[in-house]
């Protein structure tokens, strides 16, 4: 068998040296928030279904939905809705061929993150 000469190739960047970019983080957050909304929808559907089934079942579902866990799920869902909405607007802007340079993309990423937090706080204050 002939001698095989190994070619020195660069190694792939590992997480110890790779710095995550804001645009990749916001893209991942969009996917996470879209999937996480299922938890809030499931809790709301369970609560509505329990109201239709009977008083005892509704008491259990209402206790969970109005507990600290339910408040956390619904507050997280409010943030997820706002973030997902703002990220969708950002992608529509990208689809128009605008904002694709790195500084603008990073500003839009921060706008999605900060805007979603601010809109969530306003939503929670208005609902209470």
> Domains plus CATH for the chain?
22-127 (1.20.1300.10)
Write the pLDDT tens digit of every residue in 54-102: 999 999 999 999 999 999 999 999 999 999 999 999 999 999 999 999 9
Cβ-Cβ contacts under 8 Å for 29 (sequence gap 6 or more): 83, 87, 113
Phi/psi at 42 (5° precision): -60, -40
pTM: 0.82
How big is the CA angle at 62 (ends 59 and 67), to the nearest 5 degrees?
Answer: 125
Per-residue confidence (pLDDT) for residue 4, from 0 to 100: 72
């Amino acid at each position: 068998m002939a001698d095989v000469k190994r070619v020195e190739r660069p190694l792939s960047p590992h997480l110890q040296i790779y710095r995550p970019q804001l645009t990749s983080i916001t893209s991942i957050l969009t996917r996470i928030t879209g999937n996480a909304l299922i938890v809030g929808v499931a809790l709301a559907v369970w609560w509505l279904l329990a109201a239709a089934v009977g008083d005892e079942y509704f008491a259990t579902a209402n206790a969970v939905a109005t507990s600290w866990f339910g408040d956390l799920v619904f507050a997280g869902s409010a943030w997820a809705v706002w973030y997902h909405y703002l990220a969708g607007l950002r992608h529509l802007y990208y689809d128009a061929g605008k904002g694709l340079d790195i500084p603008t993309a990073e500003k839009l990423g921060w706008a999605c993150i900060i805007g979603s937090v601010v809109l969530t706080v306003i939503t929670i204050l208005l609902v209470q």
